Amino acid sequence: MFDETYSLRLVTDYLKSKNIKYTHSSARIGIGFYEHGCAIKISDKYKLSIQTHTDVVGEYFAETALQDVGRGKILYDGTFGYYDVKRFMDPNDLFAHIDELLKLGCSTC
């Protein structure tokens, strides 16, 4: 495992506090490799990709995308309100969104 970026550390600390399992994604940043994103399982069919690297999110704190686990494709069909990626300026808004999705996802399990 590589070092996490600061923004990702905020996300993973939150996930750990809620006992939510996640997987990392990593990239080379400068001279080292860093964890810059993660994914959590929403239901048996869906996972949420959470990216925090500035090359992806720009001025935002994080960007999320809903993925079909079986096909590995990002969904833009309106599932859980996802017609595009969602961006969050504030970590607390992201955390509230994660909580909401987990409640919705569990109802489809």
Instruction: Please give the sequence-ordered ranges of beta strands (E in DSSP) within 1-109, or none if there are none.
Output: 3-4, 23-29, 32-41, 46-51, 62-68, 73-74, 86-88
What is the rounded average pLDDT for all residues in the chain?
84
Q: How many independent structural domains does the chain possess?
A: 1
The parent domain of residue 8 ranges over 3-108
Q: Are 40 and 24 in contact (CB under 8 A)?
A: no
Global pTM reads 0.85
What does the pLDDT look like over 92-109, one tens digit per residue?
Answer: 999 999 999 998 876 554
Q: Are 45 and 108 in contact (CB under 8 A)?
A: yes
d(CA 32, CA 39): 21
Two tokens, residue 62: 């994080």
Mean pLDDT along residues 10-21: 95
> How many Cβ atoms are within 10 Å of 67's Cβ, its own excluded?
19
